[in-house]
Amino acid sequence: MNHRRLNGLREFLPRSRADALLVSGLANIRYLTGFTGSSALLLVSDHDAVLFTDRRYEVQAAQEVQGAAVTVARGPLLTALIGSLKRRCLRRLGFERGRASYELYEALRSRLEGCRLRPVAGTVEQLRAIKDAGEIEFIRRAVELNSAVFEKCLGRIRAGRTEADLASAIDHTMRLMGGEKPAFETIVAAGPRSALPHARPSLNLLRKNEFILVDQGVILRGYSSDMTRTMALGDPGRKGRRVYQAVLEAQMAAISQVRPGVTAEQVDRQARKVFRKHGLEKAFVHSTGHGVGLEIHEAPRLGRREKTKLEAGMVVTIEPGAYLEGFGGVRIEDMVLVTERGCEVLTPTPKDLRVL
């Protein structure tokens, strides 16, 4: 499997005018080699691949890495890498434009004389955007587990509890039910706080007749899931119901656009069109979705001016929301797999407004 992925990457080398590519993004390294440690650099040439890590990960790297040789650095990784690069007499080295720090670039530039550095944009990310069958299976299970956790925690949504309480119960349930850990900081936002798209769970109490927005994801075997549901604790009022229906309509309209060949911005535009109809276009302050896989946010982004064409095997979120300061917010988010003929909504959790 890793050989196939590494070979996929090698196809980019001539196009990038590089003899080898230095991969520094940890999720990219995991994708290509299976290594899950937090300290690594990976050098991929057309005939080999070498992973550099430090002594803390010596045993783990031997267990996990496939498709690449492992070099355990005795000092800084960068020193080991540069020594190896010098011995190879590389003339053109690609590096990850969006993942390399300026510091890494500067060290390569100053210490590798006679080697041209080529910034390369999103190559591994492009490979990762199209999931293979094994990955889709992992993601499917992560999505199903996430929904099961959500159902299990629904009973805990009661007036008088804090947002933080509920978020903690969700995270704990994820682990009890076999998940690795939350894919991101679980969001529980009640009442006016639901108007903050990235609210942190606070000691704010859940109250009657307000919205509760829950955005949660669990990681299973390295793959993330992501789902948002907004519920009402008692009656959310006419305005609340109207906003909810508008968001749901926007979400379904966006999903209806998802199929191979459609651009990411088309899907986003569809959601915006529905909001405009309801006079809510200014209340939708983020993009419609993003890819999910080894990272919670990955390619493609479904937003304005995104020309990427959807392809079968992509897995994206569709998550429009409307946020009204002082009143509250609604977001509805599913994970969707792009199939040969259209798409499959992976998230099994119902989307009608639940009044608890």
**Which residues of the shown chain bind a second copy in the complex (CB under 8 A)?**
36-38, 54-60, 75, 95, 97-106, 119, 164, 167-168, 171-172, 175-176, 181, 185, 195-200, 285-286, 304, 325
Nearer to a second copy, 38 or 66 (CB): 38
Please name the helix (run of DSSP H) or strand (run of DSSP E) that holds residue 45, with its range, or none. strand 41-45
d(CA 5, CA 21): 14
Please name the helix (run of DSSP H) or strand (run of DSSP E) that holds residue 9, with its range, or none. helix 2-10
Alpha helices in 121-162 (DSSP H): 123-129, 133-154
Q: How far apart are CB 121 and a second copy at their closest, in Å? A: 8
Q: How far apart are CB 174 and a second copy at their closest, in Å? A: 9
Q: How far apart are CB 173 and a second copy at their closest, in Å? A: 9
Nearer to a second copy, 285 or 355 (CB): 285
| Tokens encoding 1 | 């499997």
Nearer to a second copy, 219 or 267 (CB): 219
Q: How far apart are CB 53 and a second copy at their closest, in Å? A: 11
Nearer to a second copy, 259 or 286 (CB): 286
Q: How far apart are CB 288 and a second copy at their closest, in Å? A: 13
Q: Are 224 and 217 in contact (CB under 8 A)?
A: yes
Query: Strand, coil or helix: what is 72?
Result: strand
Q: Are 338 and 311 in contact (CB under 8 A)?
A: yes
Q: Are 319 and 326 in contact (CB under 8 A)?
A: no
Nearer to a second copy, 168 or 308 (CB): 168
Nearer to a second copy, 175 or 207 (CB): 175
CA angle 189, 193, 195 (to 5 degrees): 100
Q: How far apart are CB 271 and a second copy at their closest, in Å? A: 15
| Tokens encoding 27 | 């999720």
d(CA 71, CA 323): 50
Nearer to a second copy, 79 or 339 (CB): 79
Beta bridge partners of 289: 302
DSSP state of 315: E
Q: How far apart are CB 52 and a second copy at their closest, in Å? A: 15
